[in-house]
Amino acid sequence: MSIEVIKAGIADSVQDEGRFGFQHLGINPNGAMDLNAMKIANALVGNKLNQAVIEMSFPASVFRFTKATIMALSGADFSAKLNGKNIPLNQPVRVASGSELKFTKVMSGAWCYLAVQGGFEIEGWLGSKSTNTKAKAGGYEGRFLKKGDVLSFNRETDCTETRVFPWRANVLQYYMPWSVKTKNMKALPSQTFRCIQGNEFDWLTKKSKQDFLKQPVAISRQSDRMGYRLTGTPMKQTKRQELLSTGVSFGTVQLLPNGELIALMADHQTTGGYPRMAHIIAADRSRLVQCRPNERVSFSFVSVQEAEDLLLIQERSLRQLQEACKFKLREIEP
């Protein structure tokens, strides 16, 4: 019951929702970059939404299934092929033993997720199976996957042929800026990301405050799981004050000394001493992490109440998808 890496990708790893409650000890949360895609892939194969998955960037690994399973891909479209034939995203696939999965080119997005029914047999660390490469713990031996790695499945599936099941997850609602007030998915430009105002936003000059909300910035190629560097009109401060290191989170937008911005990602440091301009709301993070270098993004402020409402809508939708998929799987399972 396993999947083998027959060619390593650039930075593929095992991730789940992340580990929490240890930042005061200097241990960052880690976890999937696109939590919605991770949960969608799990829902499609009948798993708990927080089950560990394989997270891939491009170029991604090539895998061989040494045992049969039901799998699903979600997130970025890397033109997946199973035994040389195209397979869809956001749709469960029954995979026969001996099948080979590869990814040929980037069509859209930055992070793709592979879930298998029952999940992977991975030992947890501090309550999570997410990979922490700094501590060399969690995931598969605390590192990115490499050629020859074998990940066992928790559940065995009997099948002799590959089959794409006919139901599909509608993921549009997770990647469009849906508005609570207007009930309209197209109320905002697709590359506008909503934020809560940061503690030090008022340190900016009047012009820089306007630029932050009106001038798009580009995602730099100097971006990774720790943070997305954002290049554009340099931000200026009315004062330069030493800031004690304080806790930061996934989505915190900090102002660097050169006037550029950085949006912290899943592997962010536990504390930071740079001014916090904003915090990207959780409901918009999946859209942001799937942006690629040179894509231009902009920001707008919303209330804490609206941020909470948007997240609750997403979570409710994911639970409904999970229950619907469990029902469909029960129909086809012997």
For residue 157, the model assigns a pLDDT of: 79
For residue 12, the model assigns a pLDDT of: 98
* pLDDT above 60 for 188: no
Every domain of the chain and the residues it spans: 2-169, 192-309
Helices (H), 215-276: none
Mean pLDDT for 286-312 is 95
Q: What are the φ/ψ torsions at residue 11 (nearest 5 degrees)?
A: -165, 55
For residue 173, the model assigns a pLDDT of: 83
In the block, tokens 């998915």 appear at: 185
User: pLDDT by residue (tens digit) across 141-151?
Assistant: 999 999 999 99
Mean pLDDT for 204-224 is 95
CA 100-104-108 angle, 5° bins: 125
Q: Among the listed ranges 39-43, 93-97, 184-188, 223-227, which one has the minimum average pLDDT value? A: 184-188
Q: What are the φ/ψ torsions at residue 170 (nearest 5 degrees)?
A: -85, 105
Q: What are the φ/ψ torsions at residue 14 (nearest 5 degrees)?
A: -90, 130
For residue 172, the model assigns a pLDDT of: 87
For residue 158, the model assigns a pLDDT of: 76
pLDDT above 90: percentage of residues in the chain: 83
Return all residues near 65 (Cβ < 8 A) that are at least 6 apart.
2, 3, 95, 96, 97, 98, 99, 100, 101
Token digits for 20?
A: 């929490």
Mean pLDDT for 154-178 is 85
Residues facing 164 on adjacent strands: 93
Return all residues near 277 (Cβ < 8 A) that are at least 6 apart.
198, 200, 201, 204, 212, 235, 253, 254, 255, 261
* pLDDT above 90 for 49: yes
- In whole angstroms, give the CA distance from residue 81 to residue 24: 43
- In whole angstroms, give the CA distance from residue 95 to residue 28: 35
The confidence band for 1, taking pLDDT boundaries of 50, 70 and 90, is low
Token digits for 47?
A: 């798993």
The mean of the pLDDT values for the chain is 92
* pLDDT above 90 for 187: no
In the CATH hierarchy, which top-level class contains the domain 192-309?
mainly beta
Mean pLDDT for 36-59 is 97
Token digits for 108?
A: 């859209």
CA dihedral defined by 263, 124, 136, 59, rounded to 10 degrees?
A: -60
- In whole angstroms, give the CA distance from residue 211 to residue 53: 39
Burial 266-277 (b: 16+ CB within 10 A, else e): bbbbbebebbbb
Q: Which of 99, 70, 152, 88 is nearest to 326 (CA)?
A: 70
pLDDT above 70: percentage of residues in the chain: 95
User: pLDDT by residue (tens digit) across 84-137?
Assistant: 999 999 999 999 999 999 999 999 999 999 999 999 999 999 999 999 999 999
* pLDDT above 70 for 209: yes
Residues facing 300 on adjacent strands: 194
Mean pLDDT for 224-237 is 95
Token digits for 85?
A: 């034939």
CA 225-297-230 angle, 5° bins: 50
The confidence band for 178, taking pLDDT boundaries of 50, 70 and 90, is low
* pLDDT above 60 for 184: no
